[in-house]
């Protein structure tokens, strides 16, 4: 089954969040609490988690549907992540057990293809999307951008442009200790969210 909406996230995650120690969440993640809502830096925007209403929304676009994967990784971040223990960047394929999970194609494929297709011959477009999302430039490929998805949780996107001999290639990095907190399907969901944010930031409405 393909999930699309925030309301389709398992309600047990909301129940676990309601039962979690609020001070522990704030200390592990560094998010801000205001009444019964958590305010989380998200790329260069802010997500609001309203525990009473079981809603997650962008502070500057509260009526927009946030989507299933964005809501899921937000709840998993709040419930499980300790940002001080995430470690340096590595390829997702270097995480323990990752080579058994990630595939070349199908539902467990690392979602590099949409970015290769869109930015494989458009370095300025790639850099512009990074600027709009508040990315930091890093060394690697023809260009590498680091996106702070949440506090302490950074994903790098590394682009090699297409040329006459080789097709475009995109790779990612995630924190080396992410597997201590999340299962591989959550890591894959995180990468999917990053890809979606880049493609949405490339639309005329985002300019």
3-state SS, residue 21: coil
Instruction: Give pTM, 2 decimals.
Output: 0.95
Which carries the bigger pLDDT value, residue 53 or residue 36? 53
Whether residue 113 is found in the same domain as residue 71 = no
Whether residue 102 is found in the same domain as residue 168 = yes
Q: Which residue has the tokens 């340096």?
A: 88
At 102, the pLDDT band (50, 70, 90 cuts) reads: very high
Tell me, what's the pLDDT at 2? 72
Q: Which domain holds residue 193?
A: 89-206
Whether residue 75 is found in the same domain as residue 96 = no
- 60, 80, 100 - which closes a domain: 80
Whether residue 167 is found in the same domain as residue 112 = yes
Whether residue 121 is found in the same domain as residue 198 = yes
How many domains are contained in the chain? 2
pLDDT exceeds 60 at position 103:
yes
Task: Give the closest residue to 188 by CA, choosing from 91, 95, 83, 108.
Answer: 108
pLDDT tens for residues 125-173?
999 999 999 999 999 999 999 999 999 999 999 999 999 999 999 999 9
């Amino acid at each position: 089954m393909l999930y699309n909406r925030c309301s389709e996230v398992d309600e047990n995650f909301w129940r676990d969040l309601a039962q979690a120690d609020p001070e522990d969440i704030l200390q592990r993640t560094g998010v801000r609490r205001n009444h019964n809502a958590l305010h989380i830096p998200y790329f260069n925007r802010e997500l609001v988690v309203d525990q009473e209403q079981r809603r997650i929304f962008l502070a500057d676009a509260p009526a927009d549907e946030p989507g299933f994967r964005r809501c899921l990784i937000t709840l998993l971040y709040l419930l499980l992540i300790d940002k001080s223990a995430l470690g340096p960047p590595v390829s997702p394929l270097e995480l323990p057990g990752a080579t058994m999970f990630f595939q070349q194609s199908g539902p467990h494929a690392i979602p590099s293809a949409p970015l290769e297709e869109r930015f494989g011959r458009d370095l300025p477009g790639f850099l512009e999307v990074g600027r709009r999302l508040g990315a930091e430039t890093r060394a690697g490929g023809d260009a590498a951008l680091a996106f702070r998805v949440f506090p302490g949780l950074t994903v790098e996107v590394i682009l090699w442009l297409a040329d006459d001999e080789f097709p475009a290639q995109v790779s990612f990095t995630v924190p080396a200790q992410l597997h201590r907190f999340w299962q591989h399907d959550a890591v894959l969901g995180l990468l999917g969210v990053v890809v979606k944010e880049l493609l949405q930031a490339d639309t005329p409405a985002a300019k």
